Amino acid sequence: MTEDLVLDTHSLVWLVEGDPSLGQQARRSAQASLQADRLSVSAISFWEIAMLVRSGRLGLAMAVAEWHRRTLDLGIIEAPVTGQIGILAGELDGLPGDPADRIITATALLQGHTLLTADQRILGWSGAVLRLDARE
């Protein structure tokens, strides 16, 4: 059965850009979810990508707005950041990391989806979110 997946920001970039950092199993899972219209990403990931490009830590072959449009054209679903997600993100006990990580994790939790991430802080977190290691 195909899983409903939420991509962490780096997993999104790795998938769209064909980066080999995304493991073969993770890539197969993401592709299967995409084909079943069950692959999503938090809107906050596009903010993170814009900030990474602006700081020079990420290079894209096009403007971020164009990359965003092309990514959604692939069929990846953009999950909005809602008040409910924001509240849950603030209430996640023991999850270290920046606010975007908390929002992405809360998005997966509220949707009941599996989070595809390579972030060791999220992978090692004792919280209830389902997760797959993006490097495998």
Instruction: State yes or no: pLDDT of 1 exceeds 80.
Output: no
**pLDDT at site 55:** 98
**Percent residues over pLDDT 90 in the chain:** 97
Q: What is the 8-class DSSP label of residue 124?
A: T
Q: Determine the average pLDDT of the residues in 109-127.
A: 97
> CB neighbours of 102 closer than 8 A, spacing ≥ 6?
89, 90, 92, 95
Domains for the chain: give ranges and CATH numbers. Answer: 5-133 (3.40.50.1010)
User: Residue 115: pLDDT band by 50, 70, 90 thresholds?
Assistant: very high
CA distances from 86 to 7, 17, 76, 104 (A): 18, 29, 22, 10
- Tens of pLDDT along 56-112? 999 999 999 999 999 999 999 999 999 999 999 999 999 987 999 999 999 999 999
Residue 15 burial class via C-beta count within 10 angstroms: exposed 0-12, middle 13-18, buried 19 and up: buried
Q: What is the 8-class DSSP label of residue 67?
A: H
Contact assessment for residue 67 and residue 49, using Cβ atoms and an 8 Å cutoff: yes
**pLDDT at site 2:** 79
**pLDDT at site 33:** 98
**pLDDT at site 102:** 97
State the average pLDDT for the chain: 97
**pLDDT at site 96:** 84
Percentages helix, strand, coil for the chain (3-state, rounded to 5) are 50, 15, 35
User: Residue 7: pLDDT band by 50, 70, 90 thresholds?
Assistant: very high
